[in-house]
């Protein structure tokens, strides 16, 4: 009762209600909220602090930036969502806020498009070497659908593609990446797709910023060949899996294209089946049958392992 009363007191102010509504639509920084509201930075920060302390907003850091988002879970989070959904769409203040929010969204999309333009040649070169991504994505969708996943973690989320295609199959998906530039791209892609159950967080794949046993499934898509210690990445993924949870690793089978080390910064020239299965076993996971999708010249492997139920 006390928690709900505190939340109601915190939101019972026009600016804080506007902030709550804005943060329900996308992750926003203090400077972006200042731009939308036209108020001073200290005042906006003070309001955000009150909303965060009342558990109405989640706060997370990405490098030098701090993002705010509508609280994700709990009784107070449900209250926050109810309040946001109750605001009349034609309210003039709300409508103006949404117009300014759309300008922020367009700016993000332009930054993402610029990043794609600068890197498209590299990605296209890699795509030409292996099976069509649509086939890989379809296999992933089948695994996730069969597992009936609630909470999914995508490690090294990059452009957010896994969150984009799997987000409709799960209750919640969290994408983690160390690169703020890639998170900018992912955020623009997920906002364009309108997926409100997808969260993005900055984090190290060797030290995920999540508690143990907090996800039903973890995906590691085309990430391990960049890792200095792939076994550690898999062990950390296993740590956050609940009993009965699924780990899905997508990467290249062993190959001899040595120029990818120099041109694309690949640390590993793909993996043998025993490599991934061995690391999964070391992490306490039970390997399931591996799927290989041959390409020319690269073969894509889909390794699947499960944490045994208690």
10-51 pLDDT per residue, tens = 788 999 999 999 999 888 999 999 999 999 999 999 999 999
Q: Is 130 exposed, middle or buried (0-12, 13-18, 19+ CB in 10 A)?
A: buried
Where b means 16+ CB within 10 Å and e means fewer, 22-38 reads bbbbbbbebebbbbbbe
For residues 274 and 80, the model is more confident at: 274
Give pLDDT, residue 123: 60
The answer, yes or no, to whether residue 69 has pLDDT greater than 60, is yes
Domain 2-101 in CATH 1.10.10.10: yes
Percentage of the chain with pLDDT > 90? 51
Give pLDDT, residue 250: 95
Helix (H), strand (E) at residue 233: helix 230-239
- Per-residue pLDDT reduced to its tens digit, 122-175: 665 666 677 788 888 999 999 998 888 999 999 999 889 999 999 999 999 999
- Per-residue pLDDT reduced to its tens digit, 110-124: 776 675 567 655 665
Task: Report the 10 Å Cβ neighbour count for 12.
Answer: 10
Helix or strand or coil: residue 132?
coil
In the chain, domain spans: 2-101, 129-307
Give pLDDT, residue 115: 59
Q: Which residues contact 173 (CB under 8 A, 6 or more apart)?
A: 151, 152, 153, 154, 162, 163, 166, 167, 197, 198, 199
Q: What is the mean pLDDT of residues 67-84?
A: 83
Classified by CATH at the fold level, domain 129-307 comes out as: Rossmann fold (3.40.50)
- Three-state SS for 234-283 is HHHHHHCEEEEEEEEEEEEECCCCCHHHHHHCCCCCCECHHHHHHHHHHC
Q: What is the mean pLDDT of the chain?
A: 88
Give pLDDT, residue 108: 76
Helix or strand or coil: residue 300?
strand
The answer, yes or no, to whether residue 87 has pLDDT greater than 90, is no
pTM above threshold 0.85 = no
Q: What confidence category does residue 181 fall into, taking pLDDT thresholds of 50, 70 and 90?
A: confident
Is the preceding omega at residue 297 within 30 degrees of 0, hence cis? yes
Radius of gyration of the chain (CA): 21
The answer, yes or no, to whether residue 229 has pLDDT greater than 70, is yes
- Per-residue pLDDT reduced to its tens digit, 264-300: 778 888 999 999 999 999 999 999 999 999 988 889 9
């Amino acid at each position: 009762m006390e928690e709900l009363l505190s939340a109601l007191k915190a939101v019972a102010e026009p600016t804080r209600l506007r902030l709550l509504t804005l943060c329900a639509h996308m992750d926003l920084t203090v400077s972006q909220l200042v731009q939308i509201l036209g108020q001073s930075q200290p005042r906006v920060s003070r309001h955000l602090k009150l909303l965060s302390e009342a558990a109405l907003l989640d706060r997370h850091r990405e490098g030098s930036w701090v993002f705010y988002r509508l609280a994700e879970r709990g009784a107070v989070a449900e209250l926050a969502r109810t309040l946001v959904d109750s605001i009349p769409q034609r309210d003039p203040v709300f409508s103006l806020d949404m117009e300014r929010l759309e300008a922020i969204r367009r700016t993000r999309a332009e930054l993402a498009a610029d990043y794609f333009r600068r890197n498209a040649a590299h990605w296209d070169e890699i795509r030409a070497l292996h099976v069509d991504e649509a086939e890989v994505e379809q296999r992933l969708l089948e695994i996730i659908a069969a597992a009936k996943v609630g909470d999914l973690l995508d490690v090294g989320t990059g452009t957010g593609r896994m969150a984009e295609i799997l987000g409709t199959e799960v209750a919640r998906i969290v994408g983690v990446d160390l690169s703020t530039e890639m998170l900018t791209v992912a955020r623009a892609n997920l906002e364009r797709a309108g997926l409100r159950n997808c969260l993005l967080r900055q984090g190290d794949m060797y030290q995920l910023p999540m508690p143990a046993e907090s996800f039903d499934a973890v995906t590691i898509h085309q990430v391990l060949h960049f890792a200095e210690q792939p076994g550690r990445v898999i062990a950390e993924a296993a740590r956050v899996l609940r009993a009965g949870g699924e780990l899905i690793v997508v990467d290249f089978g062993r190959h001899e294209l040595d120029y990818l080390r120099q041109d694309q910064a690949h640390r590993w020239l793909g993996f043998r089946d025993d490599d991934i299965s061995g690391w999964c076993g070391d992490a306490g996971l039970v390997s399931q049958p591996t799927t290989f999708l041959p390409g020319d010249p690269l073969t894509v492997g889909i390794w699947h392992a499960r944490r045994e139920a208690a």
